């Protein structure tokens, strides 16, 4: 068709707009089923590929997902909180509860589990940079996936320079009894400072498989670099958090003038 005066929205855009509006205003509730492709073809009198293009927009916006052969469904989000600062101070759970009454923070009743796999590898560039490693240097990595009721919750890969990890329990593919920090401290490597970074991006195909991500699900990558008193990097932890399952929470005293903002 290509109606000239149709507000510069293509057919697939207008089909997507209608469905999106229904999702946002609640007339298509979370978990609800959308019309089938055939129904949308009939309703809008267009070819199947046009309908699929429209649905593809919503899939990549993270609003819907296809469950073949049941149809398309409005995605439902049950996000859990992730607290990077949890070791710094006690969690003011009472206050948070009070503040966010309607948010689902529940973890109760869900069975946690994890897989751990220890290996010696060439580090990815992001890790090599932060650990200040020479090209070709190897690292010990503890690759972990944490699950809740069998559903992957996040990936957590800890990288250690070889000289830091050797002769410690870090090399063992089991949970570290008192945590990696105390294990390192027992060997004279005390971490006194950390830098946290968050990147936001679309997942790699490997992450999609490992964390069972639906299309349209971005991830936050939380990179923690720990340093000793001499400012030498001791470890680098790379957590991959699916965006549809987490909210990252910091609680802090202070004024917090609007946003922090960019700096250079």
Contacts with DNA by CB under 7 A lie at: 1-2, 4, 8, 10-13, 34, 36-38, 45-50, 52-53, 66, 68-72
Considering the complex, state which of residue 42 and residue 93 has its C-beta at the smaller distance from DNA: 42
Residue 225 interacts with, from DNA, a second copy, none (CB under 5-8 Å by kind): a second copy
Of 33, 44, 79, 187, the residue at the interface with a second copy (CB under 8 A) is 79
Identify the residue whose tokens are 């049950």. Answer: 78
Q: Which stretch binds a second copy (CB under 8 A): 27-35, 65-73, 159-167, 216-224?
A: 216-224
Q: Which stretch binds a second copy (CB under 8 A): 28-36, 40-48, 64-72, 154-162?
A: 154-162
Cβ atoms of 16 and 58 closer than 8 Å = yes
Residue 83 interacts with, from a second copy, DNA, none (CB under 5-8 Å by kind): a second copy
Q: What is the DSSP letter of 17?
A: H
Beta bridge pairs of residue 181? none
Considering the complex, state which of residue 38 and residue 121 has its C-beta at the smaller distance from DNA: 38
Sign of torsion, CA 146 191 200 140?
A: negative
Residue 96 interacts with, from a second copy, DNA, none (CB under 5-8 Å by kind): a second copy
CA distance 114 to 70: 31
Interface with a second copy includes 84 (CB under 8 A)?
Answer: yes
99 CB-side CA count, 13 A: 8
Of 33, 44, 91, 187, the residue at the interface with a second copy (CB under 8 A) is 91
Residue 204 interacts with, from a second copy, DNA, none (CB under 5-8 Å by kind): a second copy
Distance from the first to the final alpha carbon of the chain: 50
Residue 198 interacts with, from a second copy, DNA, none (CB under 5-8 Å by kind): a second copy
Q: How far is the CB of 35 from DNA (least distance, A)?
A: 7
Of 60, 67, 78, 186, the residue at the interface with a second copy (CB under 8 A) is 60
Residue 60 interacts with, from DNA, a second copy, none (CB under 5-8 Å by kind): a second copy
Site for a second copy in 167-206 (CB under 8 A): 179-181, 191-205
Residues 6+ apart with CB under 8 A from 124: 238
Helix intervals (H) in 7-166: 11-24, 37-44, 48-60, 93-99, 125-130, 162-165
Cβ atoms of 147 and 245 closer than 8 Å = no
Interface with a second copy includes 130 (CB under 8 A)?
Answer: yes
CA distance 212 to 152: 7
Interface with a second copy includes 252 (CB under 8 A)?
Answer: yes
Beta bridge pairs of residue 221? 199, 240
Number of Cβ within 10 Å of residue 129's Cβ equals: 14
């Amino acid at each position: 068709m290509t109606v000239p005066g149709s507000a510069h929205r293509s057919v697939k855009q207008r089909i997507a707009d209608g469905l999106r509006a229904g999702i946002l205003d609640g007339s298509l509730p979370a978990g609800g089923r959308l019309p089938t492709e055939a129904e949308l073809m009939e309703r809008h009198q267009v070819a199947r590929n046009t309908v699929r293009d429209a649905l593809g927009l919503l899939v990549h916006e993270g609003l819907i997902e296809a469950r073949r052969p049941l149809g398309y469904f409005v995605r439902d989000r049950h996000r859990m909180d992730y607290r990077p600062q949890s070791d710094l101070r006690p969690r003011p759970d009472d206050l948070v509860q009070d503040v966010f009454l309607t948010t689902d923070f529940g973890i109760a009743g869900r069975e946690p589990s994890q897989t751990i796999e220890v290996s010696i590898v060439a580090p990815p560039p992001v890790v090599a940079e932060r650990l200040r490693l020479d090209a070709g240097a190897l690292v010990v990595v503890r690759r972990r996936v944490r699950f809740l009721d069998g559903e992957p919750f996040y990936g957590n890969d800890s990288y250690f320079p070889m000289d830091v990890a050797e002769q410690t329990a870090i090399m063992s593919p089991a949970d570290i009894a008192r945590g990696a920090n105390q294990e390192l401290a027992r060997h004279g490597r005390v971490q006194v400072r950390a830098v946290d970074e968050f990147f936001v991006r679309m997942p790699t195909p490997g992450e999609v498989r490992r964390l069972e991500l639906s299309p349209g699900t971005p991830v936050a990558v939380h990179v923690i670099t720990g340093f000793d008193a001499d400012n030498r990097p001791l470890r680098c932890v790379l957590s991959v958090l699916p965006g549809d399952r987490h909210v990252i929470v910091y609680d802090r005293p202070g004024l917090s003038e609007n946003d922090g903002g960019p700096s250079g």
